[in-house]
Amino acid sequence: MLRILKHTLTQLVMLTVIVSSAAVGQGRQIAVAEGFQDPAVSPDGSQIAFALYGKIWLAPIGGGDARQVTSGSGWDSHPAWSPDGRFLAYAHSTVDRGELVVHALESGGERTVHVVNRDVIGQIAWRPATGDLLFIVENNQFTAHLWSVPLRADGKPKQLTEGDGMAEWSFALAPDGRQAAVEWVRRGATDLFLVQLDSSRTQRLTETPDEEFSVQWSPDGRSLIYVARDNGVDRVMVRDVEQGTTRTVFESPYDGKQLSLVPDGSSLVMVAGRRLYRLDLTTGRATPIAVRAGLHVPQRAAGTLLVTNVRLWDGSGALVRDSAWVFVREGRIAQVGRGPVGLEDAARIPVIDGAGRFMLPGLMDNHVHYWHHDVFDAPQRLAMGITTARDPGTELAAALNFREAVRLGIIEGPDLYVTGPLIDGPCGIHPMVDVLLDRPEAGPPLVRALKAQGVDAIKVYHCLRPDVLRSVVAEARRLGLPVTGDLGSLTHWNTAVDAGVTGLNHAYTYHGAYLPDEYRVFRENEPDVVRRARMQHARNVPVDPNRPEVDSVLARMARTGVAMDPTLHIFAVNDTARRRLGIEEGERAFEGWRMMQRFVKKVVDAGVMLLAGTDYVSLNDELEDYEAAGIPRDIILQSATVNGARWLGKDAEFGTIQPGRRGHLLLVDGDPLSQIKDLRQVVLVVKDGRVVFRR
């Protein structure tokens, strides 16, 4: 069997077609102390492979200087060692596909073994007995399955597990190579199963309310080591496979733990809070691993420029100014004027003639989830004039790393403000990105842990009970974190407002307070398939917003400063959707959509602050739907500029074109105050004084 593997590895060297480049462009070196993901200990126990801001690195297991292994465009993750330590397999993601790549450590040569279109490759492991690679294919946030592919050139991939709405996010190959322990996920439940790799037959190992993940198998095959999460506390567990007994080795509040066992099974390397630790499985002591990674980032100084001759809408509430000019010095707006430019040394400042076009602050999308390939949409968002985005729900380490990658210039995209995971109740609608609470006392420690790791806000979700919600919101407000929520099902909007949330999301969620009982979306102890079917139907039920109860809750929102992010366009019902739904359901859905538009207009009329957010669609489409609903255009522009900054408490930083703010500028043809669609005619986008798009 080892002969098969040795022959296959020899083929990899011979068949190398891509060689990694050692060339490094102009830039600067910075030392980073966090951002680590996907640890993998080498077969001899001397090194750790890990992902760091989209590239694969190696470092001594005891700490020290790291060296970068992969380079180039794309985002690399999930390194896996070959049994002889000569190769690393890893996942390479680009804008439209995921690749399973094998890298020869000695030569630097690479070979792509498998490609998935529009999907993402997750965890990887080598199977020595057959010369295969095992790997996860993530189709979306609900579905991910285990596959294998032979390493020989003509090898064909094989799917080993299946099931819509089910996922195996992590797995561990047994020492005998015949079976794997997998983390099996469905909404509201995560348990461990054994999968026989040759027959795909399964056997349940655990059945607990915990979320169980990052599973490892001890070298003797007698124990499983994994993370069990209960009410926001992560515990590293050791389970006797035969006896079924467990013991807790280590615990701490939620921090995105990932594990990799050392070869002798005595300890493991653990990522927690995007930092590296060595965890002794006998004593439970976690020791930091001090790794020095000299990250090469672009040399990108904040810009200085002068834009003249523009019609300026600055977002402050002032009237539009003709013949205006804006001077940005070292990334910050230094002066704003009208008429002749009165600047010292003006001749040495780069000047852009706005030619009388319309200028406004860079746009903000208040609802962008950076899941899977979405990180690669960031440059396109910049080209649309979006210089800032709020991510209200992504796996914490990924969200923070994407945010830092933009800040460092590794990714060109809008500045990112993140909430980390969805804080939800036991039904667990989004298992890839949620953390589940059912006890009020669990709320404050979780919020403190998220704050300590760097979130900008908190996101609460549908299945959170009112008493748990109140504990989460109270701690968030104490720590100065705004709280946004997809609520209205188990928790009424009135209750959420009274609890102190500062934002609500999605136009359809007001249904939850006013639907007839037979259409209520969430009920406890209900099968998921039934809930999903009724949820879809419920969205198509018209609910008249012209009711006293609606007026009451909107008045309370306006009085207490609760903002609304309606994501209106994702619920739009066009002619194609009406035909697909049929005559009766299609008409009901269309009328429901019209009711949502009226509801959003009522939100604005009541004085509630509007936040423009998309949740995967075009920001232009969202803003044009507001216009069709009868919302004044100046309020529409505020919803996509200054309002998001105000909600975050960052309006002294961005959102308006005023001295001291960051130099985020958008220049368009036409006049968005006459027709919002003119925002599509982007001529110039400036971010921190640098031109990032010019037509």
Would you tell me the crossing angle of helices 583-605 and 619-628 to the nearest 10 degrees?
80
State the pLDDT at residue 347.
Answer: 73
For residue 260, pLDDT over 90 is answered with yes
pLDDT of residue 187: 66
Which tokens is 112 given? 């792509």
* pLDDT of 223: 96
Least confident of 215-229, 347-361, 410-424, 428-442: 428-442
At residue 12, the pLDDT reads 34
Are 137 and 206 contained in the same domain? Answer: yes
Mean pLDDT of 188-196: 86
From 395, 418, 441, give the residue that closes a domain.
418
Task: Write down the pLDDT at residue 571.
Answer: 85
Mapped onto helix, strand or coil, the DSSP state of residue 618 is coil
Collapsing DSSP to helix, strand or coil, 76 comes out as strand
Task: Please report the pLDDT score of residue 532 as a whole number.
Answer: 46
Note whether 287 and 277 are within 8 A (CB). Answer: yes
Position 509 scores a pLDDT of 60
Instruction: Give yes or no for residue 528 having a pLDDT over 60.
Output: no
Q: What is the pLDDT of residue 188?
A: 65
Of 293, 314, 346, the residue at which a domain comes to its end is 293
Boundary residue ending a domain (273, 293, 313): 293
d(CA 396, CA 451): 11
pLDDT value, residue 546? 81
Predicted local distance difference test score (pLDDT) of residue 200: 83
Rg (CA), the chain: 26
Strands 179-186 and 189-196, sheet pairing? antiparallel
Q: Is residue 440 assigned to a domain?
A: no
How high is the pLDDT of residue 185? 83
Q: Judge whether 247 lies within some domain.
A: yes
Q: Name which of 466, 463, 465, 547 is nearest 499 in CA terms.
A: 466
Q: What is the mean pLDDT of the chain?
A: 88
675 Cα distance to chain centroid: 33
Is 183:190 a contact under the CB 8 Å cutoff?
A: yes
Q: Give the span between the Cα atoms of 655 and 71, in whole angstroms.
A: 35
Does residue 525 register a pLDDT over 90?
no
The single-letter DSSP state of residue 67 is E
Half-sphere exposure of 351 (CA within 13 A, CB side): 13
Three-state secondary structure readout of 212-244 = EEEEEECCCCCEEEEEEEECCEEEEEEEECCCC
Q: Which range, of 113-117, 304-308, 594-598, 670-674, averages the lowest pLDDT? A: 594-598
Q: How far is CA 588 from CA 93, 515, 537, 585, 593, in A?
A: 41, 14, 10, 5, 9
Burial of 518 (0-12, 13-18, 19+ CB in 10 A): exposed
Note whether residue 55 is domain-resident: yes
Q: What CATH code is carried by the domain that includes residue 686? A: 2.30.40.10
Please tell me which residue, 167 or 461, carries the higher pLDDT value.
461
- Residue 402 pLDDT > 70: yes
- As a whole number, mean pLDDT of residues 506-515 equals 61
Lookup: tokens for 245: 């007994």
Where would I find the beta strands (DSSP E) of 174-222? 179-186, 189-196, 202-204, 211-217
Structure confidence at residue 515 as a pLDDT band (50, 70, 90): very low
How would residue 278 be classed by pLDDT, with cut points 50, 70 and 90? Answer: very high
- What digits encode the pLDDT tens for the residues 230-253? 999 999 999 999 999 999 999 999
pLDDT confidence bin for 39, thresholds 50/70/90: very high
pLDDT(672) > 60:
yes
- The Cα-based distances of 13 to 44, 56, 131, 151 in angstroms read 21, 19, 15, 12
φ, ψ (nearest 5 deg) of residue 284:
75, 15
pLDDT at 344 exceeding the cut of 80: no
- Same domain? For 52 and 149 the reply is yes
Give the pairing type, strands 351-353 and 415-418: unpaired
- 189: Cα separation from own chain's centroid: 21
* Confidence check: pLDDT of 17 > 70: no
Q: For residue 411, what pLDDT is reported? A: 86
CA angle 304, 308, 311 (to 5 degrees): 125
pLDDT tens across 552-577, in order? 889 999 999 999 999 999 888 888 87
What is the per-residue pLDDT for 132? 93
Question: Which of 36-40, 242-246, 581-585 shows the lowest mean pLDDT across its residues?
Answer: 581-585
pLDDT of the residue at 488: 76
Does pLDDT of 603 surpass 50? Answer: yes
DSSP one-letter code for 607? T
Average pLDDT of the residues in 319-324: 96
Which residues are within 8 A (CB) of 567 and not within 5 positions of it... i.e. 6 or more apart? 367, 505, 506, 507, 613, 614, 615, 622
Whether residue 630 is contained in a domain is answered as no
CATH code assigned at 73: 2.120.10.30
> What is the predicted pLDDT for the residue at 21?
28
497 is a domain residue: no
Q: Are residues 340 and 259 in the same domain?
A: no
pLDDT of residue 95: 83
- Identify whether residues 268 and 356 lie together within a single domain: no
Q: What is the mean pLDDT of residues 355-384?
A: 88
Find the mean pLDDT for residues 9-23: 30
HEC letters along 125-145: EEECCCCEEEEEEECCCCCEE
Judged against a pLDDT cut of 60, whether residue 534 lies above it is answered with no
Percent of the chain with pLDDT over 90: 67
Distance CA 426, CA 424 (A): 7
pLDDT score, position 8 = 35
| Whether pLDDT at 594 is above 50 | yes
Distances from the Cα of 43 to the Cαs of 88, 108, 235, 346, in angstroms? 11, 19, 26, 62
- Please check whether residue 635 is in contact with residue 644, taking contact to mean a CB–CB distance below 8 angstroms: no
H or E, element range at 583: helix 583-605
Q: Is residue 429 part of a domain?
A: no
pLDDT at 539: 52
Copy the structure tokens of residue 97. 């596909």
Structural domain boundaries, residue 397: 363-418
Cβ pair 481, 457 in contact under 8 A: yes
Q: Inform me whether the pLDDT recorded for 118 exceeds 60.
A: yes
CA–CA separation, 388 vs 519, rounded Å? 37
| 126/13 Cα distance (integer angstroms) | 16
Mean pLDDT of 384-399: 94
Q: Is the pLDDT of residue 280 over 90?
A: yes
State the DSSP string of 390-409: EE-S--HHHHHHHHHHHHHT
Q: Is the same domain home to 335 and 378?
A: no
The pLDDT, as a whole number, for residue 152 is 82
Q: Of 6-10, 200-204, 298-302, 483-487, where does mean pLDDT reach its minimum? A: 6-10
The answer to whether residues 324 and 604 touch, using CB atoms and an 8 Å cutoff, is no
How many structural domains comprise the chain?
3
Q: Which pLDDT score, from 0 to 100, does residue 22 have?
A: 30
Strand order of the β-sheet with 246-253 is: 211-217, 223-230, 233-240, 246-253
Residues 6+ apart with CB under 8 A from 378: 406, 411, 412, 413, 414
619, two tokens? 């920001």
Confidence of residue 542 (pLDDT cuts 50, 70, 90): low
Q: Are residues 14 and 46 in the same domain?
A: yes
Q: Reply yes or no on whether the pLDDT at 122 is more than 70.
A: yes
- What pLDDT was estimated at residue 220? 95
Higher pLDDT, 26 or 361: 361
Give the residue carrying structure tokens 């006896």. Answer: 243
Residues 55 and 32: their CA atoms lie apart, in Å, by 13
Q: Is the domain of 89 the same as that of 124?
A: yes
**Does residue 425 fall inside a structural domain?**
no
What distances in angstroms separate CA 280 from CA 40, 52, 214, 486, 588, one per listed residue? Answer: 16, 24, 17, 40, 60
Residues 487-507 as b/e (b if ≥16 CB within 10 A, e otherwise) read: bbbbbbbebbbebbbbbbbbb
Q: Based on the domain organization, do 314 and 374 belong to the same domain?
A: no
Q: Are residues 386 and 320 in the same domain?
A: no
Residues 126 and 194 placed together within one structural domain of the fold = yes
| Averaged pLDDT, 172-200 | 88
Whether 207 and 71 share a structural domain: yes
Q: Average the pLDDT over 396-400 and give the result.
A: 92
Q: Which of 359, 455, 476, 352 is nearest to 398 (CA)?
A: 455
CA distances from 691 to 221, 305, 385, 620, 685 (A): 57, 9, 11, 21, 6
pTM score, whole prediction? 0.91
Strands 434-436 and 132-138, sheet pairing: unpaired
CATH number of the domain residue 386 falls in:
3.30.110.90
Q: Is the pLDDT of residue 16 over 60?
A: no
Residues 211, 147 share a domain? yes
Residue 432 predicted with pLDDT over 90: no
Give the span between the Cα atoms of 622 and 617, in whole angstroms.
8
Say if 232 falls within a structural domain.
Answer: yes
Mean pLDDT, rounded, for 425-450? 91
* Residue 506 and residue 477 in contact, taking contact as beta carbons nearer than 8 Å: no
